[in-house]
Amino acid sequence: MLARRSKRAILAFAGLALLVAVILASVGRYFDSVEQKRRLQEEKALLKERDDFILTVEPRTVERERRYAAAVDPWLVSDIPAEVAGRVSAVKVEPGSVVRKGDELVLLDDEIAASDYRRAEAKLLELQRLLGEAETLGRSRVVSRTQVEAIRAETRQADAEEDATRARLDDHTIRAPFDGSVVERLVQVGEAVNVNQPVARMVDTSRLRVVFYVNERDIASFPAGTMIRLRLPAAPGQIFDVPVVHAARASDEATRLFRVEGELPNADLALRGGLTGEITARVGLYRDQLFIPTACVRLEGAGATVLRVAPGEGGPESVRVRVGEELDGFYPVLEGLSAGDRLLVR
């Protein structure tokens, strides 16, 4: 009997506890609802009082720029070869020497070549003398026309041989093929060189080749003639306007980037080849495009949302938008908003 009473008392106490819990939960939800309403009213009041937290979306015209690392190289780099084999008799230049086209760089021993030329020259002179006499005698019919033509043909052959030996003699003097400077001397006096062996390395820095690489999305922005801006650590405070002269038609197989080249005049040789720099170029123009600050946008996976302030007394509402690439703290709005929409800056 006592056990039965105890069991009823326990059940009654449990029911009472459950009832109290339900009442407390209801009261909690009520107060939460009241708190949410209070916060919403405060947010609305805050939105009314603080217009600086509200952004009105308006169209703008904006240029998009990119920066690229650039190499500034000599316009020409050439290893000057020997045209004939021989022994070096003199080196006329040193690294750093500034030369003009045709200046002597290296001399090869030309004793044999000079002897061959003198012999060919003497033969030609003798045949020219004989041809003159034969033509005189031919006019008197002492010598036949056939004999005159034979001597004339031999003279022409000797003339060609004289030209060839003179060219071989000239090849023993290795000259600068263009205006520029010597960056490296590759042979020493007394050294034997072979045909096509380089004897000196030259560069032309009267113009500089500005080289940089861009991705497939930006390459269309660099047709020939496009002006780009170049800054060089070697010339602080200066900005050089450089025209594009060449853009690759195919990307590099390893990097998938496209090579772009510009031409930088350097007639006073104030700049050296081998410098590094930074290119700034316009790669896009947004005309009458809606832009919003990144602070307005919440990125969610592949999408994005903003809080748009509803007209009248309505609070902010979440709106899905499609935005473009960030540009200096702003996103271009591609879909989802219209001019005049008001956004909450978070």
- Does 187 fall in a domain? no
My answer on whether 258 and 290 are in the same domain is no
Instruction: Note down pLDDT in tens along the chain; length 346 residues.
Output: 545 566 666 666 666 666 656 666 665 566 566 666 666 565 555 544 444 578 888 888 877 888 999 999 999 999 999 999 999 999 999 999 999 999 999 999 999 999 999 999 999 999 899 888 888 887 877 778 888 889 889 999 999 999 999 999 999 999 999 999 999 999 999 999 999 999 999 999 999 999 999 999 899 999 999 999 999 999 999 999 999 999 999 999 999 999 999 999 999 999 999 999 999 998 877 788 888 888 888 888 778 888 888 876 667 888 899 888 787 788 888 888 888 888 888 7
- Does 184 fall in a domain? no
- Does 232 fall in a domain? yes
- Does 118 fall in a domain? yes
Q: Which of 252, 269, 285 is the last residue of a domain?
A: 285
- Does 194 fall in a domain? no
- Does 177 fall in a domain? no
Q: What is the CATH number of the domain that holds 144?
A: 1.10.287
- Determine the Cα–Cα distance for residues 260 and 213; give it in Å rounded to an integer: 6
My answer on whether 298 and 327 are in the same domain is yes
Which structural domain, as residue segments, surrounds residue 148? 110-171
Count up the domains in the chain and report the number.
3
- Does 99 fall in a domain? no
